[in-house]
Chain A
């Protein structure tokens, strides 16, 4: 693909980049404990967890496994499991 003039890049193009491969821990939402408070969505630096299709779930394409969602969830509804490769 031809380079752009002045190296200008389209906004939001990082959505093509899979950061999920960075993980060594995988957060899993325990739906039965989730209160849908939205704090996990608020504290994720990568926008990789939030409401989708009616439930709070992790976007594993992007999730880096930082663990902030699990740590900050007031209902302890997110478990950090080792990532299986």
Chain B
């Protein structure tokens, strides 16, 4: 039953976009715009989100939206914010919604510049942990030991040997008003964080874990489940950092071992087959343990088995 005209008029990110079925990023964007409302302008650098929302003639964005290049999302946003201020239209807020490739890697310099200048931009990174748009190549956000096409596990390698770049803290070191990490598996929390970010002026950053069925290798109906497990095992802490200091954390209600998160994703299959790579699994569990300890994510004395 076609419903083109019956689409809710308040929906700011409508149907008909070409995201993969089950895309965590598309889901996140729907909720981000619910939280911001329509008085925003959105910049999206090159990546999955840009590609699946902008084939010529078909756009799901019901807010002004621009894709310019890959490495300049922050600077395009700075330019828009400067113009709005001069035109006395800065009631309208400026957002960047960018993937991890643009944020952690190629646009990192521009991001730092925007943060350092104090430009009034809310930068949201929708993070699927690789350059998924082009087939899943490794990025600075790819988790430790994940398999990507440019850093695949093989006879000589267990996959990515570097830990993820800890971008929220790098951003926080620029002393910006608000930094948060969120997950598409916790939608109300995501919306709250976006709303809270909108209450500040100046540069703000939210990093959203957005599971990717195509790239991470799991059935599309499990996007929320995978996201939940990432948070509940401790690898994906949900934090808020204000003016450089940790201000709030989401406590894990039911902690699970890291393995429960890794096992259901194809990108970590090599840690279990053809044989268990116990060293790597221990190291990942250790990472999770460390984050739970550092951020105080535990509710009680429940330890992983």
A and B touch in the complex (CB under 8 A): yes
Contact surface of A with B, Cβ cutoff 8 Å: 7, 9-19, 22, 42-48, 50, 52, 57, 59-62, 64-68, 70-72, 80
Of the candidates B1, B7, B54, B58, the one whose C-beta lies within 8 Å of that of A47 is B7
Main secondary structure of the interface of B (DSSP, over half): loop
Answer whether A14 and B1 are a contact pair too, CB < 8 Å, given A19-B16, A45-B19, A72-B224.
no
Contact surface of B with A, Cβ cutoff 8 Å: 1-4, 6-8, 11, 13-19, 21-27, 30-31, 53-54, 56-65, 187, 213, 219-225
24 contacts between A and B (CB under 8 A): A13-B59, A14-B14, A14-B17, A14-B59, A15-B14, A15-B16, A15-B60, A16-B58, A22-B21, A42-B31, A45-B23, A45-B24, A45-B27, A46-B17, A59-B1, A66-B22, A66-B23, A66-B221, A66-B223, A67-B220, A68-B220, A68-B223, A70-B221, A71-B224
Bound together, the chains give a CA A17 to CA B4 distance in angstroms of 9
Q: Measured between C-beta atoms, what is the minimum distance from B220 to chain A in Å?
A: 4
Answer whether A45 and B225 are a contact pair too, CB < 8 Å, given A19-B16, A52-B3.
no
Of the candidates A7, A11, A52, A65, the one whose C-beta lies within 8 Å of that of B56 is A7
Answer whether A9 and B57 are a contact pair too, CB < 8 Å, given A19-B15, A67-B220, A71-B225.
yes
Of the candidates B1, B4, B187, B223, the one whose C-beta lies within 8 Å of that of A15 is B4
Chain A residue with the shortest CB-CB distance to B52: A14
Q: Is the CB of A17 within 8 A of B58?
A: yes
Bound together, the chains give a CA A12 to CA B11 distance in angstroms of 10
Chain A residues with CB under 8 A of B14: 12, 14-15, 47
Chain B residues with CB under 8 A of A65: 21
Q: Is the CB of A12 within 8 A of B222?
A: no
Chain A residue with the shortest CB-CB distance to B225: A71
Q: Is the CB of B22 within 8 A of A60?
A: no
Q: Measured between C-beta atoms, what is the minimum distance from B222 to chain A in Å?
A: 7
Chain A residue with the shortest CB-CB distance to B16: A14
Chain A residues with CB under 8 A of B22: 45, 64, 66-68
Known: A16-B4, A19-B18, A67-B22; 12 extra A-B contacts, CB below 8 A, are A9-B54, A9-B56, A12-B14, A13-B57, A15-B16, A42-B187, A43-B27, A45-B25, A48-B15, A52-B3, A61-B1, A68-B27
How many inter-chain contacts with C-beta < 8 Å in the A-B complex? 123
Chain A residue with the shortest CB-CB distance to B60: A14
Bound together, the chains give a CA A77 to CA B289 distance in angstroms of 37
Chain B residues with CB under 8 A of A9: 54, 56-59
Q: Is the CB of A11 within 8 A of B221?
A: no
Bound together, the chains give a CA A60 to CA B225 distance in angstroms of 24
Bound together, the chains give a CA A12 to CA B4 distance in angstroms of 10
Q: Is the CB of B61 within 8 A of A11?
A: yes
Q: Nearest 6 pairs between A and B by C-beta?
A: A67-B221, A14-B16, A66-B21, A66-B22, A45-B26, A64-B21
Chain A residues with CB under 8 A of B63: 11
Chain A residues with CB under 8 A of B60: 12, 14-15
Q: Is the CB of A43 within 8 A of B59?
A: no
Identify the interface centre among A42, A43, A65: most chain B CB within 10 Å of its CB: A43
